[in-house]
Structure 1
């Protein structure tokens, strides 16, 4: 059977990226069908720590976050909390990192340079080895699940159809149309948006495409209640890779394990000890914290070789748009990504330069600064 309608665009994945794209595409008058193997925000989106920041080192990423955060701030459903991001930068990285701060400020992001002593107003930490700190008060976090459902509801109100619990098992191009074999029947559309998160590489393989996205498991550890003098912003220690922030009376924290790639499931409790050791070195007061194992969780990042997203038209493949591989930046960038994907779909020039994120970059030698991954 088929879905009974002809569609202009098929979006694969109903995480925050796919849901936002569905809304913006429907807003432009396109007939949109979304195929989701589970439920909206049921994958990486719902397991995200939901941080949003514009403290990047490339103009494209800065602008994607800046415009997205502005949209979230206008949406009550987003639960946008501008609690700030505080970055602790080692001496060796401080001179080059200031180039990124200058760029952020030129683009209208209110990032501040702080000495380690000045930064103590936001959190208590040991300053050993730091060259400086940066803080942006418009960074913060959102309710990723509530935000995704808001996009789903907006897309549905404009006629988009969401086929949930529907797995895509085959993708072929016939003439000017993509034909998708799914557990709900056949779906056809001339345009396809691959926004399937950690599964994006597998979705590409269904069409015979090599899209370099793979899953990487991430742990989020949650403490018991702590009495702190003030809520903590999202803090990222660039030296150790540890991040943490307040979540009510608790602290959530994590640290990427670069070896934890592939389809691994469940909490990796062996990663707790090295994470805490690195965290306590910078934040000795964490020694007083207890751990709430039941409140801790895990999820997948969708990572690419350079830890940057793949966005836009797939070269040499008519009607295939990528919006995947965000490597932990999906919630931060979703709102703006949806706008540029809609522009790409209609043959318009995106309002943000996508060239650093296009697939073609894998054919070039990468240059420039690599943005941090948290």
Structure 2
């Protein structure tokens, strides 16, 4: 019988970050991953490290996580390809800009200053290649981007260095209470621990169901494309809200295009099937917004399986039915930036029973 202080189910950036932060607190976690760390959402996303345009319930976690991103090499022994050139939310109409202005003013009243409204001149200074019809936007200047798979692997390696055990290619088949401990049944045999963290991503609802906590999780597969190399023309990450787009140029000149168009996913087969018509919509958006991209070609496209919640925000916090179990899933296609901070927060919550980072409104009980 294997034993641990904490069993973590799921080896994405959130599971690996939690394993590392638990180990840094002197606990002995075992992380179970059915594939390999970063196989799905955490390793194949667009890599945006974004505080901009967060739901109000996520902002405290996002701000805490940004502080860890800014010392990521000290934390995990790898700079993870993190670069901070800001994120710009582009307004395509005056009406859209007015709605952005209202949000920024509301955030100011709540004490949040990371989002800054910008006019056409500042937008052109930050993103010279943007189309002339865009009247302005919002910038979060500390934001940036990183390499998602490299980041997830860095958290995994450092967690192991600090004493965590990582079991890959192992599936969870059952979860039950045995005395003071939880018994996690796996394809590699049972593991017992007093605490369990459900960080199983698109499969997390199955873990929650074992606890009598059904959740309306939807399985999605956001698609991404990467282009041929083009001369450097943009530094910030660019996002849209009216049309689906996230857009950034890598150091080698290639451009990663995403934004939320979905492939068809089958989590039981670990399979995604791309929707080329929707990818063409993304390509057309780039064509219209960035004339400098019109000579580029698409080199590759892909999708990763993720969990999406009905309200678009994650499930974070203690189980509502089972003492000693904690949930950390449902990041709804924007969880990468939250990984370092949520792992630190979860380790604090598991180890001490409370956390200094507000997570109000993120609990699983909202779906009861």
What range is the shorter-chain TM-score in?
A: 0.7 to 0.9
Q: Tell me, yes or no, if the aligned pair for 1:105 and 1:111 is still in contact at 8 Å.
A: no
Unaligned runs of 5+ in 1: 364-374
The two structures have a TM-score, normalised by structure 2, of: 0.88
Q: 1:146: which partner in 2?
A: 150
Matched, 1:317 2:314: no
Q: 1:340: which partner in 2?
A: 345
Cα distance in 1 for residues equivalent to 2:357 and 2:53:
15
Q: 2:197: which partner in 1?
A: 193
Q: 1:64: which partner in 2?
A: 61
Q: 1:40: which partner in 2?
A: 37
Q: Tell me, yes or no, if the aligned pair for 2:181 and 2:192 is still in contact at 8 Å.
A: yes
Cα distance in 2 for residues equivalent to 1:231 and 1:206:
47
Matched, 1:242 2:249: no
Tell me the secondary structure at the aligned position of residue 305 of structure 2.
strand
Alignment counterpart, residue 265 of structure 1, candidates 261, 267, 272: 272
Matched, 1:112 2:109: no
Structure-2 change in CA distance of 1:222 and 1:19 (3 Å) = same
Residue-by-residue CA offset, 1:17-74 (whole Å, 9 max, x unaligned): 0011011122223221111112222221110111111113545422222221221221
Deviation at 1:195, TM superposition (A): 0.5
Residue-by-residue CA offset, 1:153-212 (whole Å, 9 max, x unaligned): 332233221111111112222333221111110111121101111221223234443133
Deviation at 1:234, TM superposition (A): 1.1
Alignment counterpart, residue 287 of structure 1, candidates 262, 282, 294: 294
Q: Tell me, yes or no, if the aligned pair for 1:60 and 1:352 is still in contact at 8 Å.
A: no
Q: 1:84: which partner in 2?
A: 86
Alignment counterpart, residue 355 of structure 1, candidates 342, 349, 360: 360
Query: How big is the alpha-carbon RMSD for the aligned residues of Structure 1 and Structure 2?
Result: 2.4
Q: Tell me, yes or no, if the aligned pair for 1:58 and 1:100 is still in contact at 8 Å.
A: no
Residue-by-residue CA offset, 1:310-339 (whole Å, 9 max, x unaligned): 000011222210010011222111111112
Tell me the secondary structure at the aligned position of residue 8 of structure 2.
strand
Equivalent residues in 2 for 1:101-250, closer than 5 Å: 101-102=104-105, 103=107, 109-123=113-127, 124-126=129-131, 128=133, 132-228=136-232, 230-247=233-250, 248-250=252-254
Matched, 1:253 2:257: yes
Matched, 1:297 2:302: yes
The two structures have a TM-score, normalised by structure 1, of: 0.87
Count residues in correspondence: 356
Structure-2 change in CA distance of 1:57 and 1:39 (3 Å) = closer
Tell me the secondary structure at the aligned position of residue 306 of structure 2.
strand
Structure-2 change in CA distance of 1:225 and 1:158 (3 Å) = closer
Q: 1:11: which partner in 2?
A: 8
Deviation at 1:241, TM superposition (A): 1.4
Structure-2 change in CA distance of 1:245 and 1:160 (3 Å) = same
Cα distance in 2 for residues equivalent to 1:269 and 1:96:
32
Deviation at 1:13, TM superposition (A): 0.9
Q: Tell me, yes or no, if the aligned pair for 2:244 and 2:282 is still in contact at 8 Å.
A: no
Matched, 1:98 2:101: yes
Q: Tell me, yes or no, if the aligned pair for 1:52 and 1:139 is still in contact at 8 Å.
A: yes
